[in-house]
Amino acid sequence: MPRKHSRAALGAVLPLTLLLAACGGGGTSASYEGSILSGQVLMGAGQPVNGNGTGNVCLYAVTGGLGNPLNTSISPATNTGTLLTSGCIPTDANGNFSVNLKSFYGPVLIQITGGTFANVAGGTTSLSNLTSTNASLQALVNIGGGGTVDAVVTPLTTIATAMITPNTGLTLANYAAASSKVAAEFQLGGLNINAAPVSGDAYDKALRGVQEYMAVAPASTDDPKANNLLTWNLTASNVQGDYTNAYNAINNTALAFTFN
């Protein structure tokens, strides 16, 4: 069974990470302490992305952000944007992954480069590492302060990441602002995109719309593999109209979306 995150607990993760980023982890090098990163990759409520034994979760130190592989002789640390593990790691059948980042302090870019999921529009859909890396599933999370940091990666966290890369930069403050904008764009009614969706809630319905968009024409023809949607490239194809049609078809609704 997929792990069920507490919405209240996960909702508190992002504000906490912002505080950590703002404080720089403390004034002394002894304060630089990493965390266990525990994540789940979801295409909808109860719809995990299975890595099928392949390393599909790549974790990167963010270039230009706070943090680096632990080096107490550097304060503040200078980020190099390096892969934080010896190779990319797989999600399990429930979309879960966990990695010890105790030797790292700072923001981390999570990039999902493959895997499969059961599409609500029918059949099994494969994710791929597209030419535009922002079209692979992504999220941003801050590591620091010990303990375990939870993360959720979905198409909507991917769009939030795309909004700030490369335009305004991968910082936790920018990611928080983009996350709020995405929630508003997809009419989530105040739900946090960095918490796991619950079956039938507005977040789940939005993700079901993405799945329909990926699998069924005209969106699947106009925007193969949802490249334009996931990179928030609204002028390259009829993203707004196609998503509106996909959302209403799969959810049996009549909402209108206006993307900006």
Using pLDDT thresholds of 50, 70 and 90, give the confidence band for residue 106.
confident
In the chain, domain spans: 7-251
Average pLDDT over residues 157-178: 86
Tokens 């979306």 belong to 257
Per-residue b or e along 95-106, where b marks 16 or more CB atoms closer than 10 Å to that residue's CB: bbbebebeebbb
Q: Which tokens hold the place of 8?
A: 């209240």
Q: Supply the pLDDT for residue 177.
A: 96
Q: Supply the pLDDT for residue 165.
A: 73
Q: Supply the pLDDT for residue 28.
A: 36
- Is the pLDDT at 80 greater than 50? The verdict is no
Q: Which of 49-63, 65-79, 209-223 ranks highest by mean pLDDT?
A: 209-223
1-15, 30-44, 90-104: least confidently modelled range: 1-15
Instruction: Identify whether the C-beta of residue 154 lies closer than 8 Å to the C-beta of residue 193.
Output: yes
130-134, 160-164, 237-241, 252-256: least confidently modelled range: 130-134
**Nearest-5° Cα angle at 110, 64 to 22:** 45
The reported pTM is 0.82
Q: Supply the pLDDT for residue 87.
A: 83
Q: Which tokens hold the place of 237?
A: 């194809």
Radius of gyration for the alpha carbons in the chain, expressed in angstroms and rounded: 18
Q: Supply the pLDDT for residue 140.
A: 93
Q: Supply the pLDDT for residue 134.
A: 66
| Mean pLDDT value across the chain | 82
Q: Supply the pLDDT for residue 79.
A: 34
- Is the pLDDT at 188 greater than 50? The verdict is yes
Q: Fill in the amino acid letter for 82.
A: T
The dihedrals phi and psi of 79, each to the nearest 5 degrees, come to -75, 140
Query: Alpha-carbon torsion 153, 154, 157, 162, what sign?
Result: positive
Query: Alpha-carbon torsion 174, 175, 181, 184, what sign?
Result: negative
Give helix then strand counts, H and E, for the chain.
8, 10
Residue 195 per-residue DSSP state: S
Using pLDDT thresholds of 50, 70 and 90, give the confidence band for residue 107.
confident
Instruction: Identify whether the C-beta of residue 166 lies closer than 8 Å to the C-beta of residue 64.
Output: no
Q: How far apart are CA 142 and CA 4, in angstroms?
A: 21
Q: Supply the pLDDT for residue 245.
A: 98
